[in-house]
Chain A
Amino acid sequence: MRLQEYQSKILFTAYNIPIPNGRIAESASEVRQISEELGGKVVIKAQVLSGGRGKAGGVRMAKTSEEAEEYAHEILTKEINGLNVRKVLVDELVSISKEIYLSISNDRMSQKPILMASSSGGIDIEEVSRNSPDKIVKRVIDPLLGLRDYQLRDIAINIDLDRKYWQDFGEIINSLWSVYVDCDATLVEINPLVITTTDRFSALDAKIILDDNALFRHPNLTDMRDKDAETFSELEGRKIGVTYIQLQGNIGCLVNGAGLAMATMDILKDLGGEAANFLDIGGGAGAKKVENALRLILQDDNVKSILINVFGGITRCDEVARGIIGACKEIQTTIPIIVRLVGTNDEEGLHLLEGTCLIPAKSLLEAARLAVEQAAEASE
């Protein structure tokens, strides 16, 4: 789960990581008020869970509160990468002497937390990582021992940080580690962490991503979920207990298991079709869940055919069949639905489908072919 910049900054404050003075606003007049309080020179930042906010015009610097109000008005009416800007963060403008990159994330290779730092922080950090990788210092952290004090000095030395900053820098890294551990984050990132012209540290941007598997032990953080960042269907998916991701194609998919769902999408693509969604009903789904899932897929106007692929282990094929039949009775759709059931109670499941308009298939390849054909026919 991703947190907004302003939410991440609130957490940083709780952990004594210095941030610029600033406040969240939802209207241009609020922005004007805040910038008056802050002395007129501010940066207005769209609060959306998307990269490239700056390039999309979602980050503007203002010299006066009139300008601030004007820019805020523009930004608050923007859509950045399909996301509506509903809030902006108004931060005081800070005079920058140095920009540092600092993050703790999960390293897939070592399967441990990894700390990364660079004195070439800022918006070009990815280019730095491509062209001068040695400018980025990387240190794996022992997940049982945590950060050692000597590691803090080691990082400061390797990013050529002046000695007078070591103490404060070390404290910030320690705090960042605490955020990462206490919140069960998969990423905590400050880019840039600046040293101002008055020799203070300030985290100008803050990015936190939380481990979804650990949200159960952080109810207060779960409450921070940004419902605007997901499509209606994805939210609905979570409500009914399935993983639903909206895609661009016209063949609806309903599968049990993430790997199998991806493989199903792959076959469709291989045969010249394109999935309209990814939908994993998980293990042991009952008729009701299957019915809800099918209804969710049918809400997508792009869908011209549907492929249901269930390999029943703990999931029972007769339950799945009941769910499909239940949904079709309710919705009365003319969209062709191809059903492929194998595994536990598959005979019973297929038997239940006899006499309905549902199209049975035995092999995954055959089912995928039918789905692609039906979608192509319907599109003509």
Chain B
Amino acid sequence: MSILIGKDTRLLVQGITGNEGLFHTEQMLAYGTNIVAGVTPGKGGDWVLNGKIPVFDSVQTAVDVTGANASVIFVPARFVGDAIFEAVDAEIPLIVCITEGAPIQDMMRVRQYLSSRNTRLIGPNCPGIISPGKSKVGIIPGNISIPGNIGVISRSGTLTYEVLYALKQNGLGVSTCVGIGGDPVKGLSFADMLELFEADAGTDAVVMIGEIGGTEEELAAIYISANMTKPVIGLIAGIAAPPGKRMGHAGALIEGSMGTAESKIQSLRSVGVKIARYPEEIPGLITFL
């Protein structure tokens, strides 16, 4: 089983005719994802990938014509806010935003808007979702994981791949991997994903990949303590990062003593999460109930 995506997913790609959009649409199709439409304002009526996917001028039109029920966003950072608003107003239940660099206040406004709507947002600045052997929404390479019963949630991009690869090398498979992204203001969080994995019959353990900045891992620890019966294994990047330095992700800025790797590791350990020192250590720490 998988969470968020599955055989009922009818995906539309916002920004399909751009370089990133087109390249990854082809990859997703090859992996088996059901892509029903693309949206690029001004290119409505075109087809991409040798007539495989129709392009529309607007998300609403695409939804009306194809019944799309999920969107993946590849539009440039300056258009991310507007693209999300458009998809939310078209009542798409799941939006996965890959784009990096969205202005923080744009995302604050998006989040505020989402709080009164029924759409789930993953990202921005994330690699997306993959359910190995079934479907992928985003840019996670298809050949580094195998189907199985471990859920993976991550704030990182390539570090996620490293973990998936380590699991695969040890014969361990993944039910769903969700990259929630590295931005300080974003959609769903660790706690939200843990809830979905706890309820998913196909997942028996969860791996959490966190990093410095913010309090998300600490909030996840509170959720785990109150609600999680399945084992959780954590990897927190940034132990060696000196405070006050921006390390790439907008989200990874340490503020005072909050948001340090130590504080996250401490919170998670205190609720029974096993902490790996590096990706290759994770497979050895996984046990099932």
Taking CB atoms, residues of chain B closer than 8 Å to A325 are none
CA distance A353 to B178 in the complex (A): 34
Q: Given A263-B159, A266-B237, A365-B280: A184 and B104 within 8 A (CB)?
A: yes
Taking CB atoms, residues of chain A closer than 8 Å to B144 are 343
Taking CB atoms, residues of chain B closer than 8 Å to A212 are 250
Give per-residue flags for A77-118: 1 if the beta carbon is below 8 A from chain B beta carbons, else 0. 000000000000000000000000000001011011100000
Taking CB atoms, residues of chain B closer than 8 Å to A280 are 247-248
B141 and A344 within 8 A (CB): yes
B277 and A278 within 8 A (CB): no
Residue A186 at the chain B interface, CB threshold 8 Å: yes
Q: Given A262-B252, A267-B278, A280-B248: A213 and B103 within 8 A (CB)?
A: yes
Task: Name the one of A108, A266, A311 contacting B240, with C-beta atoms under 8 angstroms.
Answer: A266
Report the tally of A-B residue pairs with Cβ distances under 8 A: 167
Task: Name the one of B158, B240, B245 contacting A260, with C-beta atoms under 8 angstroms.
Answer: B158
A258 and B108 within 8 A (CB): no
Taking residues whose C-beta sits less than 8 angstroms from the other chain, chain B's interface range is 35 or more
Task: Name the one of A217, A247, A262, A267 contacting B238, with C-beta atoms under 8 angstroms.
Answer: A262
Residue A245 at the chain B interface, CB threshold 8 Å: yes
A112 and B112 within 8 A (CB): yes
The B contact surface, by secondary structure, is loop
The A contact surface, by secondary structure, is mixed
Give per-residue flags for A286-318: 1 if the beta carbon is below 8 A from chain B beta carbons, else 0. 000000000000000000000000010110000
Residues of B within 8 A of A (CB): 23, 77-78, 101-109, 111-113, 127, 139-141, 144, 154-162, 165, 182, 184-186, 209, 211-215, 235, 237-242, 245-250, 252, 255, 259, 261, 277-280
8 further A-B pairs in the complex, CB-CB below 8 A; given A262-B248, A266-B238: A108-B215, A112-B108, A113-B108, A186-B104, A260-B156, A313-B139, A313-B141, A363-B280
What are 23 A-B contacts with C-beta separation under 8 Å?
A108-B184, A111-B184, A144-B113, A211-B103, A211-B105, A213-B250, A217-B103, A245-B247, A256-B158, A257-B159, A260-B156, A260-B157, A262-B237, A265-B241, A266-B261, A267-B277, A274-B240, A278-B245, A278-B248, A311-B161, A313-B157, A314-B139, A343-B141
Residues of A within 8 A of B (CB): 106, 108-109, 111-113, 142-144, 181, 184, 186, 211-214, 216-217, 243, 245, 247, 255-263, 265-270, 274-275, 278, 280, 283, 311, 313-314, 342-344, 363-365
